[in-house]
Structure 1
Amino acid sequence: MFITPKVPLNSFRHHVFADKRNFMGVPNTLNVMTNFPFLIIGVLGFVLCIGGSFFNISLKGEIWGWTLFYASISSLAFGSAFYHLKPDDNRMIFDTLPIMTAYSSLFSSFLVERAGETVGLSCLVLLLFISFLSVGYARVFNDLRLCMTFQLIPCLAIPVMAVLLPPKYTHSKFWLCATAAYAIAEIEGLADNKIYNANRYIISGHSLGHLCRALATVLLTVMLLNRSIRFHRLGDLKGHP
């Protein structure tokens, strides 16, 4: 963040996407419609978290983290669609903030699993604070660097910590697969025009980025449905005989 030049929020180029096609009266149709998978996965995951018996979640801290994650994914469907209907500075917060809270809750859930409930919940509070701080910083100082740095951290930290810290559950490779999908989505967003031109104007890199993020969420959902406990951490056994 400190070695890169300022990235202004109100730069017009941030709101110009390769695919501007209008189908059935919907502006920027594919960029809007590719948010629909977030709604399906987000609502389904949220309901399964509330149900309590469908996902293999053993700690209260995990329930809070995953419930917030799926709630953020659901709100992202509406926020991102609202932004892409008419991209501008004022609408951008509806797209950015759900992404930030989703990253925060996801990273917290990962830490609860790998480092313990206390560490994960403490980081959740801190990360949510930084999320709102990042968005506020972007609005007040007209600088997106803090938001961009924050979104990059989980993509780097989760693979490293997945190797260093032993998994509590099975199917831990899904964490790496989902992280790779998120990283690819970021690359597709940066290569919006190039991808759009390469596939002869069928779908843009930004729209593919939406679908790739949705795929990452599907991978995490499959992980939660199929995993089982490998071992109990010492901190998880407090209060149990």
Structure 2
Amino acid sequence: MGWVANQQFRRLKKKTRIWGVAFLCCMCFLLFTPRIPRSAKHHQYVDMRNLLGVPNTLNVITNFPFLVVGVLGFVFALEGGLFSTSSKAEAWAWILFYAGTAGMAFGSAYYHLKPDDNRVLWDTLPIMVAYSALLSSLLIERMGQRTGLCCMFLLLLAALLFVAYERIYNDIRFCMIFQLILPVAIPGVAFSYHSIYTHSSYWFWSTGIYLLAKFEAVADRKLYQLNNFTISGHSLEHLCLALIPVLLGVMLSCRNLKFPRLGELKDWP
């Protein structure tokens, strides 16, 4: 027993060091790099066609899947019959995630109708809320309700402050770190801590889809040319990102507890 406890302590210490180093790297980036203003090129997308009287048509309408998936996921998470969660805290984290997903549809569509610095925060904030809720649900699952809820409160507060900071000081560093570190932290936590559920591989599949979506955004012009100017990489990014809440919804509906809840232990042989 003593050897097992010692091994677990060493693993925990190693994991703490890894997260500590990651945190220090982020702080060094924020403290020792100059202010990064949002470039005017950020609002210039390769496909800015006006079809059916809608400016930037495809970049706008490809946000519709976020609304469909977000509303359905919100209803299922709120109702609680289809999605498997082990606590109210975990259920509320998923409710917030799907609410943020639905918010992405409105925020991103509003921004793409007239891309500029005044509208971009409505595109950024719902994404950060959804990321915060998603990481918090994973932390509640892997590390406990208190840790997950504390992180959710801090992450949501940070999201609001970072968006306000960017708007006031025209400095995207905090929002950039926030949006980069959470998609890295999610597979990191999923790999480092054991789950109480089955179907944990869906977390890694979701990360793979996210990376594919980011590639599509970077290759916006190239992809637009490759498909004969039919749909741009940015519009494909929207469609690809909408697959993530779908995949996670499948995970929630299919997974089961590896071990029974405390109230069910008496029924076990």
Could you tell me the TM-score, scaled by structure 1's length? 0.93
Offset of 1:55 from its aligned partner? 0.5
What is the identity percentage for the equivalent residue pairs of Structure 1 and Structure 2?
54
1:189 counterpart = 2:208: no
Looking at structure 1, the residues matched to 82 and 129 of structure 2 have their Cα atoms a distance apart, in angstroms, of 23
Residue number among 95, 98, 103 corresponding to 2:126 in the alignment: 98
The CA deviation at 1:4 is: 5.2
Tell me which of 133, 136, 145 is aligned to 2:164.
Answer: 136
Instruction: Describe the shift of the 1:100–1:59 C-alpha distance in structure 2 as closer, same or farther (beyond 3 A).
Output: same
Aligned counterpart, 2:87: 59
Q: Deviation per CA, 1:31-61: give whole Å up to 9, x if none.
A: 0010000000000001111111111011111
Report the residue type matching 1:97 in the other structure: L
**Residue 47 of structure 2 corresponds to residue 7 of structure 1:** no
- The whole-number CA distance in structure 2 between the counterparts of 1:133 and 1:99 is 14
Report matched runs for 1:111-122 at 5 Å: 111-122=139-150
Offset, 1:5: 5.0
CA distance in 1, matches of 2:160, 2:219: 27
Deviation at 1:183, TM superposition (A): 2.0
Structure 1 runs (4+) greater than 3 angstroms displaced: 1-6
- Does 2:184 correspond to 1:156? yes
Alignment of 1:1-241 (within 5 A): 1-2=29-30, 5-9=34-38, 11-231=39-259
SS in 2 for 1:70: helix
Aligned residues: 236
Give the match's secondary structure for 2:242. helix
Q: Which residue of 1 aligns with 2:22?
A: none
Q: Distance in 2 between matches of 1:90 and 1:125?
A: 26
Give 1:132 shift.
0.6
Residue 87 of structure 1: how far off its partner (Å)? 0.5
Post-superposition CA distance 1:160-216 (Å, at most 9, x none): 221211111111100111111112212221221222122221111111111111011
- Any idea what the Cα deviations from partners look like across 1:73-126, whole Å, max 9, x if unmatched? 111111110110110111111110000000000000010111111110010001
Give the secondary-structure state (helix, strand or coil) at the position aligned to 1:89. Answer: coil
Which structure 2 segments of 5+ residues have no match? 1-28
Letter paired with 1:170: T
- Displacement of 1:159 in angstroms is 1.6
Using the TM superposition, give the Cα deviation of residue 21 of structure 1 relative to its aligned residue in structure 2, in angstroms: 1.1
Q: d(CA) in 2 for partners of 1:165 and 1:33?
A: 38
Which ranges of structure 1 fall in alignment gaps of 5 or more residues? none
